[in-house]
Structure 1
Amino acid sequence: MPARSTRRSELDDFDRAILRIVQRDAKKPQRLIAEAVGLSTAAVQRRIAAMEDAGIIDRNVAIVDPAAVRMAITAIVEVHLIDEKLPSVDRAKALFRAAPEVQQCYYVTGGISLVLVIVVPDMAAYEASTRRLFAQNESVKSFRSLIALDRVKAGMEIEIPAATSPAPRR
C-alpha cells in the first residue's frame, strides 16, 4: 500500500460537500461537482486528489448487487477466538482479509472477537467457507452465523457532519 501524506487532515465545507457527492456517485463528472459546490473544476480536482493523498478518500469502488451476480447467500458471522493474544488475532485477521468471500471484517469489543460479512453463491459454498475459515482455524473457538433474508440497505456512504466552529471567545 502506498504511503499516504498527512498534509491535509482538516476538512472545510467545500471538502465536505464534495465528499457527500462522490460517496453517492464516484463517477459524477468533476464539472458537475464543481457546479454543485460552487468551485471551479480545477479546484474540485485538486481537492479530490488531496483527499485521496491524505487517505480521506480511501478508494473508489462499485457496489455490486450480489443477486445480479448469483451470490445468493449473505451471512453475518460472529467469531469468538480462543484468546485475544496478538498472534491469534493477527492470524485470524490475515486469513479473513485474504478470503475473497469475506466482504467485511471488523475486530470488535463486547464478547465477540470479530464480525464478518460473507457473500457466497449457495449454502454448499458457505459450508466450505466455514470449514476453511473457522473449523480448521486453530485461533477460532466458535462462530455463529446469521443468514440475511433481505438486503435492506447496502453501501459505504458515511454521513459527513458540518464543520463545528469553536465557541466564540468572550
Structure 2
Amino acid sequence: MARTTPAGRRALDSFDRAILRILQRDNKTPQRTIGEAVNLSAAAVQRRIAAMEADGIIERNVAIVDARAVAMTITAIVEVTLINERLPVVSSAKALFHAAPEVQQCYYVTGGISFVLVIVAPDMVEYEAITQRLFSQNDCVANFRSLIALDRLKTGAEIVIP
C-alpha cells in the first residue's frame, strides 16, 4: 500500500520527485526520455504521472506564454488591504480576484495587507480600468498600492523539489 502524507496524499518517493523536476522544466518531455533519466520504464513513468495527476500533486499542464509576445506590456504587483478580515469580505475578494483573467497570481497573506496580486495589462489605460473595477469600485477594499515592474528577471512556476 502506498504511503500517505498527513494531508492524505500519497507520499512522493525519489522517482516521483525526479519525474516532477523534469516535468516542471518541460512537461512535453517524452515518457521514454524521462524513464531513461530516472531509471524507470516508460510505462512506470506513465503510471506515476497519472497517479500524481489523480492525487492533485500535478494540478494541471499549461503553456507559459511570454506576456510581451501577446502585447501585455504592463505587469503590476498590487498590495490590497481589505476593510476587514471577516469571512464574507475575504471570500468575496477571493472570488473576485480568482475570476479576473488579468490577475495572473493571487496570494492571501499576513503582515498588514490582505492580498498580493500579479496583474498584466496591455497598457496603463487598461490597467487603470482594471484597478477601478477590482479595487476603487469595490466596497471591500480599503486601499491598494501598485508596483509596476520595470523588467522581468525571472518568471515561471518551477518549485524546488528536494
Fold shared, TM-score > 0.5 on shorter chain: yes
What SS is found at the alignment partner of 2:143? strand
Q: Distance in 1 between matches of 2:36 and 2:133?
A: 50
Question: Does 2:92 align with 1:91?
Answer: yes
Offset at residue 32 of structure 1 (A): 0.4
Q: In the TM superposition, what whole-angstrom CA distance separates every residue of 1:3-51 from its partner, at most 9, and x where no partner exists?
A: xxx8752000000000000000001111100110000000000000000
Q: 2:109 corresponds to which residue?
A: 108
Q: 1:78 corresponds to which residue?
A: 79
Q: In the TM superposition, what whole-angstrom CA distance separates every residue of 1:50-103 from its partner, at most 9, and x where no partner exists?
A: 001111101111111100110000000000000000000000010000000000
What SS is found at the alignment partner of 2:72? coil
Q: How many residues align?
A: 156
Counterpart of 2:15 in structure 1: which amino acid? F
Report 1:40-79 matches (<5 A).
40-79=41-80
Q: 1:88 to 1:59 in 2, by over 3 A?
A: same
Q: Give structure 1 stretches of 5+ with no counterpart.
A: 1-5, 162-170
Q: 1:138 corresponds to which residue?
A: 139
Q: Give structure 2 stretches of 5+ with no counterpart.
A: 1-6
What SS is found at the alignment partner of 1:110? coil
Give me the TM-score of the superposition, normalised by structure 1. 0.90
Give me the TM-score of the superposition, normalised by structure 2. 0.94
Q: In the TM superposition, what whole-angstrom CA distance separates every residue of 1:117-168 from its partner, at most 9, and x where no partner exists?
A: 000100000000000000010100000000000000000000011xxxxxxx
Identity %: 74
What SS is found at the alignment partner of 2:153? coil
How large is the Cα RMSD of the aligned pairs?
A: 1.0
Contact map agreement 1:104 1:117 (CA 8 A) in 2: yes
Q: 2:121 corresponds to which residue?
A: 120
Counterpart of 1:128 in structure 2: which amino acid? A
